[in-house]
Chain A
């Protein structure tokens, strides 16, 4: 069974149809990349899978391990293993990154019938992950995302992903705003999580990321539709030629 199946997904906001029939199948162990011009519906797709309010799903379905994702609330989806690294991570004033992480981790453990994580064990775990991601130790003491630089926010997203160990991780432009070194560190972080029973959906504008996180499939999303799919060479072609030819085709 596929890990995540998106079948003929149509999504509208108000009267406007944004996703016009998306179908994608992610199997365990795979990395799928989605590329496409601004405003074509990439974040919409991520948000709808993750369960954000405000979108009308007019047709189609999304299945996680064969389970109907739309029958679950956002938090249930998260606990079932869907993770979204946000394009624009939200600030939570007054809540330290470490207590946020702990609360999230314990929510997951509770769903798995495990006890709350021991304080010392938690600290050790977080320390090892922040180190791997090249984050400063005192970062986790700061309020989550408050005053974080663009790159720090993205690292914090990857840190959360590595702690929560999702089944399906959607990375919405996690590479934007990262400097070259950070891009490498974050990519290593993602690669370290690649596993036979885990899948990634990587949204990006830059082929460069895909040199580090090598995808199995690349999809071109234009105007709410998948205009083309191919291997990693498709990304190179897009880099060289742009989206013009697909935009014509889609229109």
Chain B
């Protein structure tokens, strides 16, 4: 595990949030607030066809009827959000680009700081990045190679024009615009995101990756991601998120839809490192995200892995609808909350098809005054013969002022169902800390090592190159949590 010296060095080097810098680029903003005009503005900016604008307006009108429906059931406390006090569109002022050379050097500099291998020569690592900077995808790399294989990987705003039939067919088919308050809002105002289509029978040979970043002050970020894995295909997708450090809270309400057809497999990994706010709980991202996968085909499989270390508030339940017979859904989660962070996260596994299987491994780590809730639903439908679920929720507490909660819901309508649930809560033991320190590790190294061990089952499902980064993040986000 490489969480040792480098982590300690990094921790020292950056007393503050590592990615807390702001890029100074003139940006093209819509006026503050939300209205039909703003939505028309966004749609016009993107030169969208009528059916897209119609869809947005339908969602917006529905959202207006939902004013009182902002979810309140999660174990989260935050002041009421004023949706009229935010910008819904911000794009770096820049014309269309023919190649990477034309990308604003400041943007590239930003990406460099984030460690994104955007330039072609850095692409040897086999990572194709669709970078979302505020609301517009700035550059898509590796596009050519992927195109040759029939993979479509582009900003969703572009896919609307180039592949309208696919977008029409699948957008909103997993998360309809009526799904929930935040998803409805997203459907009305989403500005960009990634679109992926993997053709029949293709195992996509490289990791696809999007790096989201909120730069503009006071902008909500509403990405929309849609991934379709056609019959017999495979894709591994990684989403990484960082945001600059700001005193005020910023809203992030993304929607991610995955569709896996017969024998297809999607692996979706997230490393979420949004600014968590300061030690007193000032600032930080409000992260209200709807992620859902439809395992539509027979033998299809979706695997969600999330490492959630950032955000002031996390409200997120990546889920699987197991429609196809023999389909499988897996959810691996590490959620770390420190200081005043709050996370209410988990998954829903909805078993509809026969012989469907799901597995949930959740590791919650809470420190400081933070609150960490696992909330999960396993539902076995009446026709889901021989459905299987295994759930394991482990909580680790650091110190005595934080909270950990496990809220599992199990609903079974089929007598052949088999569900297993295991839960543990533990504390980092003094014995373990002393043992590590007796071997020369600093207290922070010891905490990082022990917590990484606790999370291992989840971290090892991440693609190699990101696992190392995630291990370091685990250590950094728990900085100062002991002693």
Contacts and interface: CB of A to CB of B under 8 A. Distances in A.
A90 B431 contact: yes
Contacts of A95: 1, 449-450, 452-453, 456
Interface of A: 50-54, 73-75, 78-79, 83-84, 86, 89-90, 92-96, 99-100, 102-104, 106-108, 110-111, 116, 143, 160, 164
B71 interface: no
Contacts of B446: 75
A99 B452 CA distance: 11
30 contacts: A51-B437, A74-B434, A75-B441, A75-B443, A83-B438, A84-B438, A90-B435, A92-B432, A92-B453, A94-B452, A94-B453, A94-B457, A95-B1, A95-B450, A95-B453, A95-B456, A96-B1, A99-B1, A100-B436, A103-B4, A103-B439, A103-B445, A104-B436, A104-B441, A107-B442, A108-B440, A110-B8, A116-B4, A116-B5, A164-B440
Contacts of A116: 4-6
Contacts of A100: 436, 439, 449
B19 interface: no
B261 interface: no
B430 interface: yes
Given A53-B430, A95-B450, A100-B449, A78 B438 contact: yes
Contacts of A83: 438
A93 B454 contact: yes
Interface of B: 1, 3-6, 8, 429-432, 434-443, 445-446, 449-450, 452-457
A106 B4 contact: yes
Given A90-B435, A92-B450, A106 B1 contact: no
Contacts of A160: 439
Given A51-B434, A86-B435, 6 more contacts: A50-B438, A53-B434, A94-B454, A103-B445, A104-B436, A104-B440
Contacts of A107: 4-5, 439-442, 445
Majority secondary structure of chain B interface residues (helix, strand, loop or mixed): helix
A99 B439 CA distance: 13
A164 B449 CA distance: 18
B12 to A, nearest CB: 12
Given A107-B441, A143-B453, A164-B440, A89 B4 contact: no
Contacts of B441: 75, 103-104, 107
A107 B452 CA distance: 17
B449 A103 contact: yes
B442 A75 contact: yes
Of the candidates B8, B440, B456, the one having the most CB atoms from chain A within 10 angstroms of its own CB is B440
Contacts of B429: 90
A92 B440 contact: no
A99 B468 CA distance: 13
Contact of A79 (B4, B430, B440): B440
Of the candidates B3, B6, B436, B449, the one having the most CB atoms from chain A within 10 angstroms of its own CB is B436
